[in-house]
């Protein structure tokens, strides 16, 4: 959770959230997955996602889960954000999920970061 100060009220607000999934796996106990990254529209482009992901990476490393995987909707702004945060593009799965907006099928774009090796493009 990332806190920021509301410029009008001066009070603290939750400006963004992210969650990290650490599923039980015999073959990949070092893997983790980003499940949700969301920043309130009025706090976007202020480095909130960057701070959230930096904290998430610290947590993943501390939990022994340094191989971080994530997917995002193909064509969404987030597809451009993750490479800027150091994530490596893996590929696109077409027709991966149902859009909550209109029920249409959309693709998923996959990324990863391996904190054991540093970022490798």
Ligand X SMILES: CC(C)(COP(=O)(O)OP(=O)(O)OC[C@H]1O[C@@H](n2cnc3c(N)ncnc32)[C@H](O)[C@@H]1OP(=O)(O)O)[C@@H](O)C(=O)NCCC(=O)NCCS
CA pair distance 121, 88, nearest whole angstrom: 6
How many residues lie near ligand X (CB under 6 A)? 18
Nearest approach in angstroms of CB 50 to ligand X is 4
* Per-residue CA distances from 6 to 1, 12, 21 (Å): 15, 6, 30
Nearest approach in angstroms of CB 31 to ligand X is 17
Q: Which of 3, 80, 90, 93 binds ligand X (CB under 6 A)?
A: 80
Angle at 76 between CA 32 and CA 120, to 5 degrees: 45
> Would the CA dihedral through 111, 90, 33, 63 be positive or negative?
negative
Position 99 contacts ligand X (CB under 6 A): no
DSSP 36: E
Q: 55 φ, ψ to 5°? A: -65, -45
Nearest approach in angstroms of CB 22 to ligand X is 17
> From residue 13 to residue 52, what is the string marking binding to ligand X with x (rule CB under 6 A)?
------------------------xxx----xxxxxxx--
Q: Which residues bind ligand X (CB under 6 A)?
A: 37-39, 44-50, 72, 76-78, 80-81, 84-85
């Amino acid at each position: 959770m990332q806190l920021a100060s509301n410029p009008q009220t001066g009070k603290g607000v939750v400006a963004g959230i992210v969650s990290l999934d650490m599923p039980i796996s015999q073959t990949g106990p070092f893997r983790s997955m980003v499940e949700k990254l969301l920043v309130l529209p009025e706090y976007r482009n202020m480095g909130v996602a960057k701070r959230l992901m930096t904290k998430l990476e610290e947590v993943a490393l501390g939990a022994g889960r340094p191989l971080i995987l994530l997917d995002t909707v193909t064509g969404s702004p987030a597809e451009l954000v993750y490479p800027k945060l150091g994530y490596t593009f893996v590929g696109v799965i077409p027709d991966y999920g149902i859009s909550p907006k209109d029920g249409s099928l959309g693709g998923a774009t996959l990324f990863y970061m391996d904190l054991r090796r540093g970022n490798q493009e």
